[in-house]
Chain A
């Protein structure tokens, strides 16, 4: 079983998709000759040629629009926007064009576009290169949102996104690029819209994605030493959001903690809690809890960003507090 980093897993999935399907091509800023800002696409131009791995100008609207037009003619574009915060530059293309095209034309065409981008804090990139902006798109019907939290999920979800008939925004957490994992050939491949029980447990349910999943897993290991059994669930996609898997877990545990690095308002965690309050209120033995990033932009200085981003210790403390209720 080979060990790969998060970065290598995405690279391998892109390479496999390009190998399998001539309709797949990549476009974005600095992805070809330079191999991408995070080196995810390093070497793909040499392997697949400049016609399929294409550097673009710094023109996010043109990148997304070109992907949409190409998809309407049957291609499978994989666009890269470098930092996820830059979706602000092309919000119209994503929210008004990509997401709505199929619906407002009465289903005349699919728009199988995948948009890759680096999200998340922890790297000292400052406020305009660090946000978990996937939350901006929760209220945009028509998009699927993939937030892989392990190398294997990154690999599986990347292939699933490219092969899907729908538009997918694919978020690659920049603080996870060197995270190692295995691609177990016997694993159940991750699917869009299906959560994973990452760590089974019986006392309390924790739901987290990406870097917060990694830290929640560390916190769960600490709690195990204290005799508390944590069930960790990773939704893996925020749209569709698999509430049912969490609800099933609550039947066993009766306690819920959500961990996310985004601020609370309008976030996937707030949505998850709202859905569970509507559908699974009776299953709860204590009020649901949430650990969030502060309600501020992401700060720059090391001590500020470390204090902003939920730590393993904060998650463990929140779990202990929840168990006392």
Chain B
């Protein structure tokens, strides 16, 4: 692999139908989760802010699918989908967002800090780019202990302009650490368009300065993401070091809460909505002869699971106020 020379995304082959069905099921579930989260937020049941990943599901689902037991994953404050894709349970994830005792973090983290180490989700980090150096450490531990485990690290396009990004990729490169750096390029750093903050179009090209592969991939094509990350993971497990993957995708919603995202051109939004990652996977499955009714059923099932989990989480307890004094020190 070398850095991309053209400005398009790399074409990738298809995955087996069963696997693609698994992917679409996971993406639909995440979309339903985010829609339910938005409802809960608008009903004033969620404090602070939420950052939905609707539209970006193919990146987290395709990438997390290459991981196995022992691997670790770090993500951002837009991390609901990543944590679910890594295997966190729906109900306890809702419970954390709702600030419940049974939440993943006992209600101390919230939407921006979803963490479930038991399934390899090592954290959602909410200062931009700060988790990239931590990913280097998770990768270093694999090297140090002689395991084949890799660390998958998601971050946004905005993070490529912060110092920690450069320090982390440089160190991972010189120590050849098994870290998969996945940039979810959704074209906006919070409210500001990428071209206003960044002098290059293809963020994968930043890999050149670290002497590591940089690959751009269609982040709305779940199979392409899976293939790209599979190659990166193989490299990492073989001891050949990190890869920077730029997954081109789009936020269906605004940056946070009720941000309608009016700073984005209508044509641009329409163009990307037409490339909804779930619709793309659905079309691919229909082309393979999958019955549309069975795909509709996937949607209904996902919505049922999500609703049930949300209701269960809403019924759970508030944290004991004394728990706020615990977990500062071991």
Interface residues of A (CB under 8 A from B): 25, 51, 56-57, 59-75, 77, 92-93, 96-97, 101-110, 112, 141-142, 144, 164-166
Contact = CB atoms under 8 A, between A and B. Distances in A.
Given A51-B144, A72-B138, A108-B105, A102 B327 contact: yes
Interface of B: 72, 103-109, 113, 115-118, 122-123, 125, 127, 130-142, 144-145, 151, 163-164, 167-168, 170-171, 174, 326-330
A240 to B, nearest CB: 9
Contact of B117 (A108, A142, A164, A165): A108
A71 B125 contact: no
B104 A101 contact: no
A166 B139 contact: no
A97 B133 CA distance: 10
18 contacts: A51-B144, A59-B167, A62-B170, A68-B134, A69-B134, A69-B136, A69-B151, A70-B141, A70-B144, A72-B117, A72-B122, A72-B134, A72-B141, A106-B106, A108-B105, A108-B118, A142-B328, A166-B330
Nearest to B143: A51
A97 B134 contact: yes
A74 B133 CA distance: 17
Contact of B137 (A69, A96, A102, A103): A69
B167 A71 contact: no
A141 B108 CA distance: 14
A67 B171 CA distance: 12
A61 B138 CA distance: 15
A93 B125 CA distance: 11
Nearest to B135: A69
A62 B144 contact: no
- Of B127, B133, B136, chain A has the most CB atoms within 10 Å of the CB of B133
A92 B127 contact: yes
Given A65-B134, A66-B171, A110-B330, A105 B144 contact: no
A250 B257 CA distance: 54
B137 A70 contact: yes
B130 A92 contact: yes
A238 to B, nearest CB: 14
Q: Which 7 pairs between the two chains have the least Cβ-Cβ distance?
A: A69-B137, A65-B133, A73-B141, A165-B330, A106-B106, A107-B327, A106-B105
A62 B133 contact: yes
B329 A109 contact: no
Contacts of B140: 66, 69-70
A106 B109 contact: yes
- Of A70, A73, A75, A103, chain B has the most CB atoms within 10 Å of the CB of A73
Nearest to B110: A104
A61 B113 contact: no
Contacts of B106: 106-107
Contact of A109 (B117, B125, B141, B163): B117
Given A56-B171, A72-B138, A103-B108, A65 B328 contact: no
A59 B151 CA distance: 20
B329 A166 contact: yes
- Of B130, B132, B134, chain A has the most CB atoms within 10 Å of the CB of B134
Contacts of A107: 106, 326-327
B180 to A, nearest CB: 14
Contact of B123 (A64, A74, A105, A112): A105
A69 B138 contact: yes
Contact of A72 (B137, B167, B168, B328): B137
